[in-house]
């Protein structure tokens, strides 16, 4: 299949896409839907071990560095929660020195040696920092 045909098919699929479960805004107020797919503090409190949640709060409030063991526990809970909601990818938002925001999207899945995929999301991935390209000639 040529690249042109593949692009046209992809466009056609987006035009005809139907939500798996349509949202009825008269029965479910928008205010109740807002943030439903956010790994928020209440969700974390429910899903994380108590000591991990406390450590995370200390990081948020005091700026204490997040150790890799805690980050791994958070990443595992976050991935499980997201995949239960049907997620296959995640977005990482960062703030380059340009004063603007930027986003990088990655997948929870990686190819394995047998031609299949493996689901992974580590604490190292969760806490990674993006290199700032704002000093590059292109502005990053």
Q: Name the residue with higher pLDDT: 33 or 39.
A: 39
pLDDT of residue 12: 86
Which alpha helices (DSSP H) does the chain contain, by range?
A: 3-16, 30-33, 41-47, 50-62, 68-84, 123-126
The count of other CB atoms within 10 Å of the CB of residue 44 is 17
Q: Is there a contact between 58 and 74 (Cβ–Cβ < 8 Å)?
A: no
| Position 135 confidence tier, pLDDT thresholds 50, 70, 90 | very low
Supply the pLDDT for residue 33.
80
Domain membership flag for residue 134: no
In a domain, 96, yes or no: yes
For a pLDDT cut of 70, what percent of the chain falls above it? 90
The answer to whether residue 101 sits within a structural domain is yes
Q: What is the pLDDT of residues 40-72, one digit of tens each?
A: 999 999 999 999 999 999 999 999 999 999 999
Is the residue at 62 inside a domain? yes
Give the pLDDT of residue 77.
96
User: What are the structure tokens assigned to 23, written together?
Assistant: 């949202």
Structure tokens at 83: 């995949």
In a domain, 46, yes or no: yes
**89 close to 37: Cβ distance less than 8 angstroms:** no
- Is residue 132 scored above 70 in pLDDT? no
User: Considering the domain boundaries, does residue 26 fall inside one?
Assistant: no
Give the mean model confidence (pLDDT) for residues 105-132.
Answer: 83
pTM given for the model: 0.69
Asked, for residue 114, whether it belongs to a domain, the answer is: yes
Asked whether residue 45 is domain-assigned, the answer is yes
Domain total in the chain: 1
Residue 35 pLDDT level (bands cut at 50, 70, 90):
confident
Does pLDDT of 134 surpass 60? no
How many Cβ atoms are within 10 Å of 73's Cβ, its own excluded? 19
Which residues span the domain enclosing 56? Answer: 37-126
């Amino acid at each position: 299949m040529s690249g042109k045909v593949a692009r046209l098919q992809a466009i056609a699929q987006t035009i005809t896409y139907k939500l798996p479960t349509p949202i009825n805004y008269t029965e479910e107020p928008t205010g109740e839907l807002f943030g439903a797919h956010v790994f928020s503090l209440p969700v974390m409190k429910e899903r994380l071990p108590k000591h991990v949640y406390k450590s995370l709060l200390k990081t948020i409030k005091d700026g204490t560095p997040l150790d890799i063991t805690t980050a791994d526990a958070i990443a595992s809970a976050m991935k499980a929660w997201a995949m239960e909601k049907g997620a296959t990818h995640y977005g990482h938002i960062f703030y380059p020195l340009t004063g603007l925001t930027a986003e990088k999207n990655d997948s929870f899945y990686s190819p394995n040696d047998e031609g299949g995929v493996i689901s992974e999301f580590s604490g190292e991935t969760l806490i990674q920092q993006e290199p700032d390209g704002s000093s590059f000639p292109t502005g990053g």
